[in-house]
Structure 1
Amino acid sequence: MKKIGYTTGVFDLFHIGHLNILKRAKLECDYLIVGVTTDELSMSAKNKEPVIPFQERMEIVEAIKFVDEVVPQVNYDKEEAWNNLKFDKMFVGDDWKGTEKWKKIEADFAKFNVEICYFSYTSHTSSTKLRNVLDKIEQKK
């Protein structure tokens, strides 16, 4: 039976950490669906407007050979995502492991036989670090 995987992210200022997460996720499933966070959701949740516009971030992620399907992430309702996509595994950053929110999500998804897989982030590269460098360059102008 085909294993369907699901992960989400803003994927702003796409870097090697993003690529590694998608590559690792694809090793764990046969078909990988990636939710790309909309600009509006990013603004409401993180109060940060992505540097790269939503449509371009969608195109970048679609071009990755490990990704089979790209969908917009318009909210953080993981159960709604499962109802729409019927994935078997969900891939999440390990910074969420053990939090009350994700303990509840794990319990909720156990009912659907969905496995939550935690991946460690690439510590030396992040979109936040890249954004900070860009801000410093802008300030020098």
Structure 2
Amino acid sequence: MRVITFGTFDVFHIGHVNILERAKELGSYLIVGVSSDQLNIKKKGRPPIYSQSDRLKIVESLHCVDKVFLEESLEKKAEYIKLYKADILVMGSDWEGKFDQFKSICDVQYFPRTEGISTSQIIDIVKHHVEV
């Protein structure tokens, strides 16, 4: 089974590791789409902390990840799923229901987020605890 997931993977943390390892447990091949810098600006209104090349390299270095590619458009999710012949799409529970339209081309599963950790939270802590 081929599993695909997507994310920005900025300020990489244990929550990212958890979802990727759990996704890999569902199949034999894990494909990860990493949001481009431009896509992140469009989604979140700000550039990521780490560049897309750094984020690609971080995710690619994980033992559970078999293939990494740059996700350049949210509208191309179905194309990416078909291109990589994914059997299962995995997303975090914060996206619950938002990818159900892909159930006609693959199984869709939503995993719970890791409690008490998020990239936004880490950025906020760093921003407010750095002495200027």
- Residues 112-133 of structure 1 deviation map (CA, whole Å, 9 limit, x = unaligned): 3x10011011121110111001
Match of 2:21 among 20, 23, 26: 23
In structure 2, the residue corresponding to 1:6 is in which secondary structure?
strand
2:34 to 19, 22, 36: 36
Equivalence for 1:102: 99
Find the aligned partners of 2:96 and 2:6 in 1 and give their Cα distance.
16
**Structure 2: distance between partners of 1:92 and 1:11:** 13
Task: Give the alignment of 1:81-120 within 5 angstroms.
Answer: 81-98=80-97, 101-103=98-100, 105-106=101-102, 109-110=103-104, 112=105, 114-120=106-112
- Determine what percentage of the aligned residue pairs are the same residue: 34
Q: 2:115 aligns with which of 108, 114, 123?
A: 123
For structure 1, which runs of at least 5 residues remain unmatched after alignment?
A: none
One-letter amino acid of the counterpart of residue 99, structure 2: W
- 2:35–2:70 CA contact under 8 A, matched in 1: yes
Letter matched to residue 79 of structure 1: A
Q: For residues 56 and 12 of structure 2, what CA distance do their matches in structure 1 show?
A: 11
**Alpha carbon RMSD of aligned pairs, Å?**
1.2
Q: What stretches of structure 1 move > 4 A for 4+ residues in a row?
A: none
Distance in 1 between residues matched to 2:99 and 2:32, nearest whole Å: 19
Partners of 2:124 and 2:19 in 1: how far apart? 22
What is the match of residue 54 of structure 1? 52
CA distance in 2, matches of 1:64, 1:48: 26
Asked whether the 8 Å contact 2:2–2:86 carries over to 1, the reply is: yes
CA deviation vs aligned residue, 1:10-29 (integer Å, no higher than 9, x gap): 00000000000000000001
Deviation at 1:83, TM superposition (A): 2.7
Structure 2 unaligned regions, length at least 5: none
Partners of 1:64 and 1:82 lie apart in 2 by 21
Q: What is the count of residue pairs matched by the alignment? A: 131
